Structure 1
Amino acid sequence: MPGSIKDEELYEKLRDEGASKEKAARISNAAAAQGRSTVGRRGAKAEDYEDRTVPELRRRAKELGMTGYSKLSKAELIERLRHH
């Protein structure tokens, strides 16, 4: 488990659902700090990854600090972004 997890129950639930350790920690800590309902309302404002171009997906990967994405296909980029 990563360093300091503020909402362990939510963290474990997200991990069981397949979220990466980093993503589960980020969501569970945000939920603990701001409330689960606030964090839940934040989503669904971004375009679907399928609607984005490969350069847009690569920019998103770069924003997230990912590495090794430059030669990935669109489907592989989407998969990596979803599980980051």
Structure 2
Amino acid sequence: MASTNHGASVKNSDTYEALREDGASKQKAARIANAQANDSQHPSVKGGKAPPYEEWTKDELYGRAQELDIDDRSSMSKGDLITALRNT
């Protein structure tokens, strides 16, 4: 796999490119690649500390969608927000 410089925002180019080839969005691939390049983060370790999205309030889901800059979040139902968050 040819390594390409994706700029300062991507810390692990090989991981980024592999994730993109597997169909991950640019944002998701960058988040994972950067987490793997950061010694203080362990993206391969399952967290399991947060409750499932179904237990979150709509306001909490909306806040998380806002953090991730999900488009059209203001018009989404709770179920739509859950789906959008899981697909990000």
Equivalent residue number for residue 85 of structure 2: 81
Equivalent residue number for residue 11 of structure 1: 16
RMSD: 2.7
Distance 2:15 2:40 in 1: 12
Equivalent residue number for residue 26 of structure 1: 31
Gaps of 5+ in 2: none
TM-score (norm 2): 0.67
- Residue 8 of structure 1 deviates from its aligned partner by 3.4
Q: Which has the larger radius of gyration?
A: 2
Residues 30-69 of structure 1: pairs in structure 2 closer than 5 A: 30-34=35-39, 38-41=42-45, 43-69=47-73
User: In proportion to residue count, which structure has more helix?
Assistant: 1
Identity %: 45
Gaps of 5+ in 1: none
What is the number of residues matched between the two proteins?
A: 83
